[in-house]
Chain A
Amino acid sequence: DAGVTQSPTHLIKTRGQQVTLRCSPKSGHDTVSWYQQALGQGPQFIFQYYEEEERQRGNFPDRFSGHQFPNYSSELNVNALLLGDSALYLCASSSAGAFNQPQHFGDGTRLSIL
C-alpha cells in the first residue's frame, strides 16, 4: 500500500521563477494539505484541497496556488519565487471527515532558491 508520494525530492530555482510540486495521496484518502517547513521551524499550513476545491487557506500570499485532480492528486504552484520561499514543502493526506484519524505525510520536496 503506497503512502503519500511527492515529486521532485529536490529542486533548485532562481528568484522570480515559478515552480510546481506534486503529491499523490495515500490510497483511500481524498483530502490533501500542503505545508511549508523552514529550517528549524514547525510546518506552516498553506492550504487544503477536497473535491478539487480549496477548502482552507493559511496565511500565505496569492503567489501560492494549488490544484486537485479527479484522482485526488494535487499540485502546489509558487510564482515569482523569493529567497524566503526556500523550505521543505510537505504534503499530507487524510479522509474527509475523519478528524480523529492521523494525517499521513510524504517525504517532502526540498526547494532551494538562489
Chain B
Amino acid sequence: DIQMTQSPSTLSASVGDRVTITCRASQSISTWLAWYQQKPGKAPKLLIYMASSLESGVPSRFSGSGSGTEFTLTISSLQPDDFATYYCQQYHSSPTFGQGTKVEIK
C-alpha cells in the first residue's frame, strides 16, 4: 500500500487567513492525487483531482499543487464555510487516504 501522511493534523486559523495543508506519499504517485472536504455528519466532497484540477463548482480560493511525493492544498482566504476536515487520496494504485487535517477556528 502507498501510505499518505498529512500535516498538520489540526490547524487553527482565522477567517481571511491563507491556509496550506501538506500531503506526502510513501512513493511517487505522479499527480494521481485528489483532495476532499468533509464536514461533521456529511460525506467527503471532492475539491481537487489530478493534484491541481479544480472540481466544477468549487470556489477558486481552493488550489492544489505538487507531484511525485509532495502535495499541497491551499485555501487563499479562509471563509467561515471552510472550517472542516480535509483529506488527500492517492489513486496511483489501490486508493488510500491521508489521516485528515482538521481546520478549526482560532
To the question of whether A and B form a pair in one complex, the answer is no
Interface residues of B (CB under 8 A from A): none
Interface residues of A (CB under 8 A from B): none
